[in-house]
């Protein structure tokens, strides 16, 4: 099977499905030609599946249309849902090309990252990972707060595509810290970002499995985890990566040297920054076997080294993102709960949108609070699991 996750909103109600709907493990939900007649019926399918998928191998004509349009649509920042919608419209009404322009589609980038990292030996892997890096860099430089918000929001909630989301978040925050705080040259920034994206390519599928596995890792899984840094570096060399700093950063990222960055080689410095960002992103993300940490607590774990001293690389991450980064939930002195929209003048005074009132009920009209004021100062970082509220990522990004 060649399963591709599908956004539910791409399904046209009242029209025959042009492909079968399946779960992530390939279980059939609805046959090709089935008519989803109502939003309630679609909601039932989604609740059964968790993530709706299609197998493009089951439908050659859909596969040909999908593959021929994918590269163009990705460059134009169209979504996988729009691709599917175009195919369904073409079936009913003849050829059609989506024309809607808009902001980055983070769900599509999350999907693309996940699919890409699962096939590192594909002939075009390096070209596609470089393109993903360029897109992430462009978004991080033009809309840094929105980029952090989107990736932290997704990392704090998503388990099926853990590895792809994790790689993007680590790459972006390493790039921000390296460029804006440590002031590394642009070539070094690009290298650390590419190393962060590819640090786990030898165990991408296992990462996704472990995120949804309640039991402790087996001996075989632990052996893969232990060897993954060296195995990922070897795999990168095999597919013709020649940048020795990139390779060294990947090889050392799980157990880099500690101490002053100035005393390290370029690869060691990159590895140290990646390892600190990796710790933060991993603790921020939920798994079946454990809860996610609040962002501020996850950040604190990166701030100190193994000897409980301030870590230079970890401190650079906090300086770049703030103590309460965009996309994280906080409790205010007003007893409201808010979500951080933008970094503030200081690391502890970000711009926050209040989403729950003093009674813990959703606020009808979301309001922005000035956390530099005593009445609205941040009193605690909140884990996502304690905020019983579904927020639209697109609507929240529009407020930033």
Q: Give per-residue pLDDT as tens, 326-379.
A: 999 999 999 999 999 999 988 899 999 999 999 989 998 889 999 999 999 999
Q: State the pLDDT at residue 56.
A: 59
The pLDDT score that the predictor gives to residue 66 is 43
Bridge-partner residues for 5, per DSSP?
53
Q: Which of 83, 102, 167, 180 is nearest to 133 (CA)?
A: 167
Same domain membership, residue 262 and residue 136: yes
Q: What is the pLDDT of residues 283-297, one digit of tens each?
A: 888 777 677 788 878
Residue 31, domain extent:
3-93
Q: Which two tokens stand for residue 205?
A: 């599928």
161 confidence band (pLDDT: 50, 70, 90): confident
Answer with the one of 93, 125, 153 that is the final residue of a domain. Answer: 93
15 and 140 both lie in a single domain: no
Q: Are residues 264 and 379 in the same domain?
A: no
Stronger pLDDT, 296 or 81, i.e. the higher one: 296
Q: Is 74's pLDDT higher than 60?
A: no
Do 265 and 241 share a domain, yes or no?
yes
Name the token pair of 120.
């590192």
- Same structural domain for residues 296 and 358? no
**pLDDT, mean of residues 311-335:** 94
Please tell me whether residues 394 and 270 are part of one structural domain. Answer: no
CATH code of the domain in which 274 resides: 1.10.3210.10
Say if 241 falls within a structural domain.
yes
Determine the pLDDT at residue 328.
94
| Any domain includes 282 | yes
Among all chains, which residue has been given the structure tokens 């503030």? 344
Look-up of token digits 């070897």: 234
- Asked if the structure places residue 99 within a domain, the reply is no
Please compute the mean of the pLDDT values over residues 28-48 and round it to a whole number. Answer: 78
Pairwise CA distance, residues 367 & 354, whole Å: 6
Judge if 301 and 334 occupy the same domain.
no
pLDDT surpasses 90 at 138: yes
Identify whether residues 232 and 202 lie together within a single domain: yes
Predicted pLDDT at 4: 65
Q: Pick the last residue of a domain from 301, 321, 341.
A: 321
How high is the mean pLDDT of the chain? 84
**Lowest-confidence pick of 24-38, 234-248, 352-366:** 24-38
d(CA 182, CA 361): 42
If asked whether residues 26 and 82 sit together in one domain, one would say: yes
Q: Is residue 100 situated within a structural domain?
A: no
Q: Which residues pair with 53 in a beta bridge?
A: 5, 22
Could you give the percent of the chain with pLDDT greater than 70? 85
Q: Is residue 101 part of a domain?
A: no
Q: Is residue 294 part of a domain?
A: yes
In a shared domain, residues 141 and 199: yes
CB 165 within 8 A of CB 154: yes
**Is residue 105 predicted with pLDDT exceeding 70?**
yes
Same domain, 149 and 276: yes
Q: Contact 194/246 with Cβ under 8 angstroms?
A: yes
Name the nearest CA neighbour of 290 among 211, 386, 389, 382. Answer: 211
**Per-residue confidence at 1, pLDDT binned at 50, 70, 90?**
low
- Shortest CA distance to 276 belongs to which of 319, 311, 310, 224? 311
**Mean pLDDT on 112-126:** 93
In a domain? residue 363:
yes
Tokens 């990292």 label which residue? Answer: 117
Domain count, the chain: 3
98 pLDDT higher than 60: no
Given 67, 93, 119, the domain boundary residue is 93
Q: Residue 30: beta bridge partners?
A: 21
Once rounded to an integer, what is the mean pLDDT over residues 169-198?
97
Residue 83 has pLDDT above 60, yes or no: no
Residue 98 located in a structural domain: no
Q: What is the mean pLDDT of residues 180-202?
A: 96
Q: How far apart are the first and last CA of the chain?
A: 40
- The pLDDT, as a whole number, for residue 170 is 97
Report the DSSP pairing between strands 329-332 and 53-55: unpaired
115/255 same-domain check: yes
pTM of the model: 0.74
Which of residues 203 and 30 earns the better pLDDT score?
A: 203
Per-residue pLDDT at 102 exceeds 60? no
């Amino acid at each position: 099977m060649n399963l591709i996750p599908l956004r539910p909103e791409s399904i046209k109600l009242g029209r025959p499905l042009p492909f079968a709907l399946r779960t992530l493990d390939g279980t059939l939900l609805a046959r090709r030609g089935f008519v989803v007649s109502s939003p309630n019926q679609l909601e039932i399918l989604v609740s059964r599946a968790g993530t709706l998928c299609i197998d493009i191998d089951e439908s050659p004509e859909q596969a040909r249309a999908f593959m021929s349009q994918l590269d163009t649509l990705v460059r134009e920042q169209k979504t996988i849902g729009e691709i599917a919608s175009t195919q369904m419209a073409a079936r009913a009404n003849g050829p059609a090309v989506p024309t809607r322009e808009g902001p980055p589609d983070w769900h599509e980038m999350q999907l693309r990252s996940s699919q890409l990292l699962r096939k590192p030996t594909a002939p075009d892997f390096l070209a596609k990972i470089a393109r993903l890096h360029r897109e992430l860099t462009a978004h991080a430089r033009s809309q840094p707060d929105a980029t952090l918000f989107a990736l932290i929001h997704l990392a704090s909630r998503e388990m099926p595509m853990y590895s792809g989301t994790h790689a993007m978040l680590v790459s972006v925050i390493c790039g921000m810290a390296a460029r804006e705080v440590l002031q590394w040259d642009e070539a070094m920034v690009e290298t650390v970002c590419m190393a962060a994206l590819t640090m786990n390519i030898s165990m991408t599928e296992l990462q996704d499995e472990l995120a949804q596995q309640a039991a402790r890792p087996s001996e075989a899984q632990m052996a893969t985890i232990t060897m993954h840094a060296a195995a990922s570096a070897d795999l990168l060399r095999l597919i013709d990566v020649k940048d020795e700093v990139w390779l060294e950063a990947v090889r050392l990222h799980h157990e880099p040297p500690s101490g002053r960055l100035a005393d390290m080689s370029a690869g060691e410095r990159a590895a140290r920054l990646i390892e600190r960002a990796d710790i933060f992103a991993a603790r921020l993300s939920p798994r079946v076997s454990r809860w996610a940490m609040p962002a501020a607590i996850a950040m604190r774990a990166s701030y100190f080294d193994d000897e409980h001293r301030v870590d230079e690389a970890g401190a650079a991450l906090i300086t770049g993102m703030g103590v309460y980064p965009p996309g994280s939930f906080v409790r205010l002195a007003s007893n409201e709960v808010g979500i951080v929209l933008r970094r503030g003048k200081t690391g502890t005074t970000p711009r926050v949108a209040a989403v729950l009132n003093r009674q813990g009920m959703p606020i009808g009209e979301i309001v922005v609070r000035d956390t530099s004021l005593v009445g609205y100062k941040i009193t605690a970082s909140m884990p996502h699991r304690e905020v019983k509220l579904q927020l639209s990522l697109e609507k929240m990004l529009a407020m930033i």
